């Protein structure tokens, strides 16, 4: 069995993934943005989950979480599920937090990043990107960047299985009740990549939709763009990914 962190697990896809992983017998670390949302995770904690609390929009909180997680024992996998749709937190939560956790947590051998079909509308340009969240960021750009991050990690860390998952437009709080996609398939793909042992689950550098490997935006596997993105993030955070 594996020890797995699922960020943004207070509700939606993250909650569903955490519940399913617990039911399968894995050790799960759930995450909530604040103490109020953490209280809603009590049923999972009662079932044996560990919990960490911290606002992923705040860099100091992300660094504290990384230190807390490192002190608590090794992780086998991280599901970078947390994400926001709009507003100033888009770049900090969708890109900066998973980058910083990836740079600081060196133990996990499987990394799963939350992508979206919206990444196809992203611009492979880093000019003027507001990483600090002083203004609203582009959701499409953020998903292109994090999908590129997943591919870059797969290239730079050959011993790590790093993949991006498009869960589809699913009926979560973010997606809305009328979203047409399958919620179960959305979170099952995250779990499968975090724990599965069949040949496809051992793929790295993939962009997945409902367990199907798809071709992402052409910039995702452009190594020059990957390197520019990693340099920008390393300079911004003072933490290099290697």
| Active-site annotation holds for 139 | yes
Q: Please, what sign has the CA dihedral across residues 74, 188, 97, 126?
A: positive
* Helical ranges in the chain per DSSP H: 12-23, 35-39, 42-46, 59-72, 90-91, 97-104, 139-156, 183-195, 223-237
Catalytic position from the list 99, 139, 207, 209: 139
Select from 151, 182, 14, 152 the least CA-distant residue to 83: 14
Catalytic position from the list 99, 113, 143, 209: 143
d(CA 31, CA 112): 15
CA 85 to chain centroid, in Å, comes to 14
φ, ψ dihedrals at 9, nearest 5°: -100, 20
| Active-site annotation holds for 143 | yes
Q: Which of the residues are catalytic?
A: 139, 143
């Amino acid at each position: 069995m594996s020890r797995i962190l699922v960020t943004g697990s207070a509700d939606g896809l993250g909650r569903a993934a955490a519940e399913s992983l617990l039911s399968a017998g894995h050790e799960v670390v759930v995450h909530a943005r604040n103490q109020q949302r953490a209280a809603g995770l009590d049923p999972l904690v009662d079932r044996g989950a560990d919990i960490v609390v911290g606002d992923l929009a705040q860099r100091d909180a992300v660094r504290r979480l990384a230190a807390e997680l490192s002190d608590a024992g090794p992780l086998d996998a991280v599901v970078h599920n947390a994400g926001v749709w709009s507003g100033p937190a888009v770049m900090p939560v969708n890109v900066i937090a998973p980058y910083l956790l990836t740079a600081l947590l060196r133990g996990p051998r499987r990394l799963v990043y939350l992508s979206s079909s919206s990444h196809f509308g992203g611009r492979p340009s880093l000019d003027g990107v507001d990483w600090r969240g002083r203004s609203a960021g582009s959701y499409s750009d953020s998903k292109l960047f994090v999908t590129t991050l997943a591919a870059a990690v797969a290239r730079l860390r050959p011993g790590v299985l790093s993949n991006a998952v498009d869960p589809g437009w699913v009926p979560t709080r973010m997606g809305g009740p009328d979203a047409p996609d399958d919620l179960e398939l959305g979170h099952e793909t995250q779990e499968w990549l975090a724990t599965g042992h069949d040949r496809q689950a051992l793929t790295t550098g993939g962009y997945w939709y409902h367990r199907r490997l798809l071709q992402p935006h052409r910039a995702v596997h452009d190594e020059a763009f990957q390197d520019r993105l990693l340099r920008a993030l390393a300079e911004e955070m003072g933490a290099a990914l290697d």
